[in-house]
Structure 1
C-alpha cells in the first residue's frame, strides 16, 4: 500500500511539473520571431531596430533614414506588432508620423503587398523591412493608400518632389500639415 501511495505522489508531482513546463514553453511564433531577429545582425546604416520592452519581441520599432531618393534626409519610424499566429499572419506595421507618401495614408497605414495578400509564411521580418525601405526609394503610384499623392506622382514628378520636400520639413499640402521628419 505504501508503494502505491508513493507512486501516486510521484505521478502528481510529475504532472504538476509538466504543467509548469507547458506554461513556460516558448510558442512557435516566438521561436520563429527570435530566429528572424537574430538573422538581422548586419542591418544597413539606413535601418535601426529598437525594442521598447526588451522582454517583448512581438512589439518593436524600425527607424528608416533613406540616403537616396525623394525621402533622403528624413527619419521614419514604424511600429511592428507581431501576432501569436506569426509567421502564418503578417505583422501589423504602422508609420508613427504623418507623411506625404502614396503608399502610406495619413493614419500611418502602409500599403505593401507582402503585408496583405502576398504574405506567405516563408517571408520574414527582414522581407518587410526591405519592402518598407524600397517604398522610400520607389514609391508605388499604382497601389496607393494616399490617392492624391499617387496622382501627383503619376502626373507631375517634379511637383511630387516639391511636395515631398515641403512636407518633410513639416509643411502643408492641400491644407494638410505633415510632421517634420528631417533629422538634425
Structure 2
C-alpha cells in the first residue's frame, strides 16, 4: 500500500544521497498536488467496473481510468478517460476527457465531460473518488438537463427508445446521423 509521505521521504533520501555523492542528480521536489493525489489514490475503493492505469508509474498526475458499466444503457461498453491534474490540485479540479467518441448527452464528441463537480461545484475537499463516482453515475443516469451533446440530450428527452438504439448502434461501431463511432463493446 502506498503511504502518503513515502514520495516525500524518498525524495529527501535521494537528495541526501545526491548531495553526499556530489553528482548533482537531485530529483525535483514533490508538490502538494502530488502528495494529495497519492493520498486520494490510496483511499480509492474502485468497483470491479473501474480500473486505473498509469502509463508512467512515476507520474501520478497523468493517468487513465477505464469504466465498464455493468448495468444501464451503456452496459457492455468499455470507456477510457484521461485524467490530467495540474499543480493547483486540489484547488482546481482534474481535467477529464473521454478518449473514445461516445453518444452521450453529458460527453461531447471531442470527449469533454459535463459533470458539475469538474466545473462550478468543485471544492478542494472533493477528491478523485468523488469524480469517479460522478463519471460512473453519468453512465447509469445520463442527464439531458445539462448537456454537452445537445442532439443526444434532445433524443433522450423526446424519444428514449430511439436514444437507447442510438447508444447501442454507436457502441457497436456504427453511425448516428453522420457521426461514425468506434466499437467499444466486446465481440
**CA displacement at 1:26 relative to structure 2:** 1.9
Any unmatched runs of 5+ in structure 1? 1-16
The one of 165, 168, 186 equivalent to 1:165 is: 168
Number of residue pairs matched?
Answer: 167
Offset from partner CA, 1:50-71 (integer Å, 9 cap, x none): 1000000000000000000000
- Superposed, 1:20-169 pairs within 5 Å as 24-40=28-44, 42-169=45-172
- Secondary structure, aligned partner of 1:61: strand
Deviations 1:108-162 (A, max 9, x none): 0000000000000000111100000000000000000000000000001011001
1:23 Cα deviation from its structure 2 partner:
6.4
Two-structure CA RMSD over aligned residues (Å): 1.9
Q: List structure 1 segments (4+ residues) > 3 angstroms apart after TM superposition.
A: 22-25
Moved more, 24-33 or 59-68: 24-33
Q: TM-score, normalised by structure 2?
A: 0.85
Could you say which structure has the larger radius of gyration? 1
Structure 2 gaps of 5+ residues are: 1-18
Q: Structure 1-normalised TM-score?
A: 0.86
SS at match of 1:31: helix
Structure 1: distance between partners of 2:180 and 2:108? 13
CA distance in 1, matches of 2:39, 2:176: 42
